[in-house]
Every structure is written in C-alpha cells, then in structure tokens.
Structure 1
Amino acid sequence: MSDSKLSRFFGGSPGPVILRLAGLSVVVGIVLSALNLHPRQLLYYITSFIQRIYYMGFDAIHWALEYFLLGALIVFPIWLILRLLKVGRNER
C-alpha cells in the first residue's frame, strides 16, 4: 500500500492521526469515568438498546401482519367477486 493511499485512508499522515486519536480516547475515557460509566456498562447499554430495537421491529411486523390479515378477510373476497362479475360481463 503506498503512502498516499494510507494518508488518504487516515485523513492525513498516519502517525499524527494515531496520536490525536489516542489523546482523544484518553479525554473521552476521563469524561466517561467522571460520569461513572465503564466499558461493561456501555456494552450492556448498547446491546440492550439493539435488542429493544430488534424486538420493537418484530412487534411492528406482527402488528402489521395482524391488521393485514384482518383487512384481507374482507378485501380479497370483494375483489374476487368484482373480478368475476367483470369477466362475466366482458364475455357477453
């Protein structure tokens, strides 16, 4: 990998970018520690958040499917009857 591709990937010279990221990581770590947040807690919060979104998604699918079936019990038979009446009219 050439130096220009590496610099383009990092958004600058790799050495200074890595040093800035390390410094920023220390500052963020200090702030999170002051807020009494630890890596395991953050991992738990993130996985819990993703799990809740996942379950809400399936609840929404269940809700939509239930209303679809309820409406389909009325809509499809009426549509079928209207289609059969129309086909019967066009043949004459």
Structure 2
Amino acid sequence: MWVALRLLMLSLVVGVILSVIGLDPLNIIQSLGDFVRWVVRRFEDFFHLGFEAVERIIRYVLLGAAVVVPIWLLVRLFKVSER
C-alpha cells in the first residue's frame, strides 16, 4: 500500500515538473515512436550501404579484370610461343 502511495506521489511531482517544462504524456509517447522509427531507418540505411559497398567492390573487380585478364592471356600466349 505504501509503495503505491509513494509511486502516486512521485508520479504527481514528476508530472508537475514535466508540465512546467512543457512536456505532455502524448508528446513523450510520440517522441519515443519517432525515435524508434529513426533507429529503424538508420538500420535500413546501414543495411543498404552494406550491399552498396559489395556492389562497388564487384564493379571494381570487374573493371580491373577487364584490364588484367587480357594482359595475362597475352603473357601466357607469348610464353607458350617461346617454348
């Protein structure tokens, strides 16, 4: 019983302080919802950036291979012709 009364009094005091600051319970709940949505968006952006990085690496590999593989083939062909 005393715990419930203490919680009630503490809630009243905190409520008055928050009211003086200009906060309202619905505003706090809405702010928490906005925060959760912000975190989810950041996670999605991070996830997307991970795949974007992989795509970039693949493009770099293909670009490099377009130069390296033909040179390697030419070198191999000239080595075979020397024997």
TM norm structure 1: 0.59
Q: CA deviation at 1:70?
A: 2.3
- Trace 1:17-28 onto structure 2 (pairs within 5 A): 17-28=3-14
Q: CA deviation at 1:72?
A: 4.2
Consecutive unaligned residues in structure 1, runs of 5 or more: 1-14, 79-92
- Trace 1:9-24 onto structure 2 (pairs within 5 A): 15-24=1-10
2:44 matches 1:54? no
* Structure 1 match to 2:57: 71
Q: CA deviation at 1:16?
A: 1.7
Q: Which has the larger radius of gyration?
A: 2
Aligned-residue RMSD, C-alpha = 1.9
d(CA) in 1 for partners of 2:57, 2:39: 27
In percent, how many aligned pairs have the same letter? 28
Q: Deviations over 1:41-85 (max 9, x none)?
A: 1111111111111101100100011102322453xxx9xxxxxxx
Letter in 2 for 1:70: R
Q: CA deviation at 1:23?
A: 1.1
Would you tell me which structure has more helix in proportion to its own residues?
Answer: 2
